[in-house]
Amino acid sequence: MALRLFNTASQQLEDFTPLNAPVVRMYTCGPTVYNYVHIGNFRTFAFQDILRRWLAYRGYQLDHVMNITDVEDKIIRGAMAENKSLREYTQQYEDAFLEDSATLRLQKPERIARATEHIDDMVEAIQALTEGGHTYVSEGSVYFRIATFPRYGRLSRLHVEGMQAGARVDMDEYEKDDARDFVLWKAQRDGEPGWDTPLGQGRPGWHIECSTMANKYLGDTLDIHTGGIDLTFPHHENEIAQAECISHKQFVRYWLHAEHLIVEGQKMSKSLGNFYTLRDVLQRGYSPEAIRYRLTAVPYRNKLNFTFADLDAAETAIDRLRNFALRLATGKFKEGKCPEVEARIARARAEFETDMDDDLNTAGALGAIFEYVRETNAAMDSGEFCAGNVEDAKALLSAFDRIFDVLTPTPREGSLSDAEVDALIAERQRARMERNFKRSDEIRDELAAQGIILEDTRDGIRWKRK
Ligand code: AMP
Ligand code: ZN
């Protein structure tokens, strides 16, 4: 079955094929670095990671660009309040974002582009729009006249007929359903930072940043553009208007939007004050893998309700998978290949792939894997699993983990590496053989203190992390 994705533009599931296979050209709206990113934001970034990984699984090669919004209304307010340069102010949050993304095992896009390093490109884009008759100047700022782009509002199904001609906004973000001429270039005022350009002293608006960088690195037509659902209007609508008025070509073939992470029915957001950063949640003792699991387990077009009980359940679910992996690695099974098991593995893989191809139905894919693990554990208990099935079973688990990436525990600070644990266990065995019980007890205590659990099984000693 082919990969199908829900395109916001058509409001339908569509078969996915890139324009120039095997390369997929994809653009993601990155963070606005004025504070720590919260886990609601990470829901959207985690969706993009699953999308990347699934495209790679299906043999595509990614050319993925993400911007860092490092000049914008909120950033300027924050930097001015702290008396810092833009760069000083944004760098700390950009670093934190990249660090948190790595903690959550989000693959890095092929290119990360900062808005402030593309001012000249944006100025050129605005000049091209002016040549095309799409702009006007008011009090030194340049605005996009949306009446010059009849398709305006199509992505978000907004009816713009009722709008006041010439009504405009200066803010980077504005209210839903408030279609207005939007600002491309803001004239400098009140000690705000600015760049000296042919458009005057000033700075770009938020919207021009994304379409300009997307087109610069990915060409006129992108395969995929992603973001959170709240970006559909006005941000993405404005990106389309800007890009298509310059290139006269379709800007984006597939628009994918992630639904919100919510807390008690409300969107998690900085302005509502109901947010947790990744650091907040880690401090409560949850593992990065559990958070990653939770953020990706709900299919991206469903709202994700955030609770700590669900994070506990995620820890348990991951444990079950790790125990299964350990059993595959260390269990002793009868010789040969059991055909029923072989068929069961093939069915689980087919179900997993079908669900992921179905608009990244992660809940279905996880369900298929857990059902298979449950049945296979039962087969092992009753001696109906064979040594000849181990390789296939391992291959399936690693295929699963290429996408979900939760099987390897994140080392806790100051913790022993796997090799160190193995060495200590071997030393403890030797100490016991030499009847040096003092040393063997010391090692047992040290391992226990590190949260390493030893199990004496028929097949020898095996261990796992708590
Ligand atoms: P921002 O830094 O505000 O530009 O947001 C970065 C990304 O996170 C955008 O794609 C937003 O749409 C997305 N986002 C913001 N809040 C949430 C939320 N509560 N749940 C999911 N995604 C969100
Ligand atoms: Zn954007």
Q: Where are the domains of the chain?
A: 19-258, 278-404, 418-465
Q: What is the pLDDT of residue 340?
A: 97
Residue whose Cα lies nearest atom 7 of ligand 1: it is: 41
Q: CA-CA distance, 220 to 214, in Å (whole number)?
A: 8
Only one residue has tokens 């403890």, namely 428
Q: Is the CB of 207 under 6 A from ligand 1?
A: no
Q: What is the residue type of 334?
A: K
Residue whose Cα lies nearest atom 8 of ligand 1: it is: 41
Contact 373, 320 (CB under 8 A): yes
Q: What is the separation of C-alpha 291 from the centre of its chain, rounded to a whole number of angstroms?
A: 12
Q: What is the pLDDT of residue 339?
A: 97
Q: Is the CB of 179 under 6 A from ligand 1?
A: no
What letters, b where the CB count within 10 A reaches 16 and e where it falls short, cover 182-212? bbbbbbbeeebbbbebebbebbbbbbbbbbb
Q: What is the pLDDT of residue 178?
A: 64
Q: Is the CB of 48 under 6 A from ligand 1?
A: no
Nearest atom in ligand 1 to the alpha carbon of residue 260 is: 20
Beta strands in 10-115 (DSSP E): 12-15, 23-28, 61-68, 111-114
Contact 73, 86 (CB under 8 A): no
What are the beta bridge partners of residue 67?
113
pTM of the model: 0.90
Query: DSSP secondary-structure letter at 409?
Result: P
Count of beta carbons in the 10 Å neighbourhood of residue 346? 12
Q: How far is the CA of 44 from the centre of ligand 1 (A)?
A: 6
Q: Is the CB of 29 under 6 A from ligand 1?
A: yes
Tell me the three state secondary structure of residue 91. Answer: helix
Q: How far is the CA of 40 from the centre of ligand 1 (A)?
A: 6
Q: What is the pLDDT of residue 174?
A: 63
Q: What is the residue type of 308?
A: F
Q: How far is the CA of 282 from the centre of ligand 2 (A)?
A: 28
Q: Is the CB of 304 under 6 A from ligand 1?
A: no
CATH architecture of the domain with residue range 19-258: 3-Layer(aba) Sandwich (3.40)
Q: Across the chain, what does the average pLDDT equal?
A: 93
Substitution candidate for ligand 1 out of 100, 225, 230, 239 with most atoms within 8 A of CB: 230
pLDDT tens digits for 184-236? Answer: 999 998 888 899 999 999 999 999 999 999 999 999 999 999 999 999 999 99
With the C-alpha atoms ordered 34, 38, 40, 43, is the resulting torsion angle positive or negative?
A: positive
Q: Is the CB of 173 under 6 A from ligand 1?
A: no
Q: Quote the tokens at residue 374.
A: 């449950």
How far is CA 84 from each of CA 37, 177, 228, rounded to the nearest angstrom?
A: 20, 35, 30
Q: How far is the CA of 30 from the centre of ligand 2 (A)?
A: 7
Nearest atom in ligand 1 to the alpha carbon of residue 261 is: 20
Nearest atom in ligand 1 to the alpha carbon of residue 44 is: 22
Residue whose Cα lies nearest atom 21 of ligand 1: it is: 260
Q: Is the CB of 32 under 6 A from ligand 1?
A: yes
Q: What is the residue type of 226?
A: T
Low-confidence ranges of the chain (pLDDT < 70): 1, 160-166, 174-178
Q: What is the pLDDT of residue 350?
A: 98
Q: How far is the CA of 68 from the centre of ligand 2 (A)?
A: 9
Class of CATH domain 278-404: mainly alpha
Q: Is the CB of 41 under 6 A from ligand 1?
A: yes
Q: What is the pLDDT of residue 253?
A: 98
Q: CA-CA distance, 86 to 123, in Å (whole number)?
A: 19
Q: What is the pLDDT of residue 169?
A: 76
Tell me the three state secondary structure of residue 46. Answer: helix
Contact 40, 268 (CB under 8 A): yes
Substitution candidate for ligand 1 out of 41, 71, 173 with most atoms within 8 A of CB: 41
Contact 49, 107 (CB under 8 A): yes
Count of beta carbons in the 10 Å neighbourhood of residue 67? 25
Q: Quote the tokens at residue 278.
A: 């990744």
Contact 449, 311 (CB under 8 A): no
In terms of Cβ atoms closer than 10 Å to its own Cβ (0-12, 13-18, 19+), residue 150 is exposed
Q: CA-CA distance, 47 to 298, in Å (whole number)?
A: 10
